[in-house]
Amino acid sequence: MAEFRWYGHNCFRIRAREAIVVTDPVSRSTGYAMPKVTADLVTLSHQHPGHTNLGAIRPDPPFKVIDGPGEYEIHDVLVTGIRTYHDPNKGVDRGYNTIFLFELDGMTVCHLGDLGHALSQAQAELLAGTDILLVPAGGDNKNIIDPTRAAEIVGQIEPKLIIPMQYAVGPGDSDLGDLVAFCKALGVEAPAPEDKLVIRSSELSESMRVVALTPET
């Protein structure tokens, strides 16, 4: 069983049987106020002060940080980092991005980070088999993929469950779009937000589902 909580922007805490994973710990510059959280493993998709807030993570310093491509095994969590870019020009404008795959609690979770371009066929094949996709949903294709491109990437990966991130909600990410355009591009209604998601692999359905989370502060 894995528990997902969202702290805004790209930042999730995934509490699994094997370990606690935190992705892109968020700072106040994005409009969110992240509390102190405990983690065994932290991933950084892109070196940006908005989501490299390691000061919010406890204990200090035993947690492991992964910030680039490669294959890792931390606390029995298998992690694969895949090199991508933060812009459509192969990183010329905004640098690299790393997509992370986590294998935990019998599920494969994919965090797209600050992906700024369409996936190549080879990249999409590396992400095949993803059960839960954490996808930026409110971009404008200048910094991250726009809602239409995000929906196309969902179609390439074909996850069983989608959790959107990087969209305007409350005081956070006010320069981005809301969730409606992304859900419209997917052909679904925008779901009511939930405080957290707790799910087992046996509960994943072949019918794609979107779960929106309320940022925790």
Would you say residue 37 lies in a domain?
Answer: yes
Which pLDDT value is given to residue 127?
Answer: 96
Q: What is the CATH number of the domain that holds 176?
A: 3.60.15.10
Non-local CB neighbours of 161 within 8 Å, separated by 6+ positions: 131, 132, 133, 199, 204, 208, 209, 210, 211
Note the Cα 192 to chain centre separation in Å. Answer: 19
Query: What are the E-state strand segments in the chain?
Result: 2-8, 11-15, 20-23, 37-38, 41-43, 57-58, 64-66, 70-74, 77-85, 96-104, 107-111, 132-136, 161-165, 197-199, 209-210
Which pLDDT value is given to residue 50?
Answer: 67
- Burial environment of residue 206 by CB neighbours within 10 A (0 to 12, 13 to 18, 19 or more): exposed
Would you say residue 120 lies in a domain?
Answer: yes
> In the 8-state DSSP scheme, what is residue 216?
P
pTM, full prediction? 0.95
Which pLDDT value is given to residue 143?
Answer: 64
Q: In percent, how much of the chain has pLDDT > 70?
A: 96
Nearest partner of 159 among 192, 140, 132, judged by Cα: 132
Q: 189-195 long-range CB contacts below 8 Å, 24 or more apart?
A: 193/169, 195/5
Tens-place pLDDT, residues 171-183: 788 888 899 999 9
Given a cut of 70, is residue 139 above it in pLDDT? Answer: yes
Which pLDDT value is given to residue 72?
Answer: 97
Which pLDDT value is given to residue 10?
Answer: 94
Q: What is the C-alpha to C-alpha distance for residues 191 and 211, in angstroms, rounded to an integer?
A: 7
Q: What is the residue whose two structure tokens read 């997509």?
A: 99
Determine the average pLDDT of the residues in 33-48.
91
Would you say residue 216 lies in a domain?
Answer: no
Q: What is the C-alpha to C-alpha distance for residues 195 and 94, in angstroms, rounded to an integer?
A: 32
Would you say residue 217 lies in a domain?
Answer: no
Would you say residue 84 lies in a domain?
Answer: yes
Non-local CB neighbours of 30 within 8 Å, separated by 6+ positions: 8, 9, 50, 51, 172, 173
Which pLDDT value is given to residue 17?
Answer: 94
Domain that holds residue 14: 2-210
| Count of the separate structural domains present in the chain | 1
Determine the average pLDDT of the residues in 139-147.
76
Least confident of 41-45, 82-86, 152-156: 82-86
Determine the average pLDDT of the residues in 69-84.
96
3-state secondary structure 73-132: EECCEEEEEEEEECCCCCCCCCCEEEEEEEEECCEEEEECCCCCCCCCHHHHHHCCCCCE
Q: 3-class SS at 15?
A: strand
Determine the average pLDDT of the residues in 8-18.
95
Q: Taking the chain, what is the end-to-end CA distance rounded to the nearest angstrom?
A: 23
Would you say residue 215 lies in a domain?
Answer: no
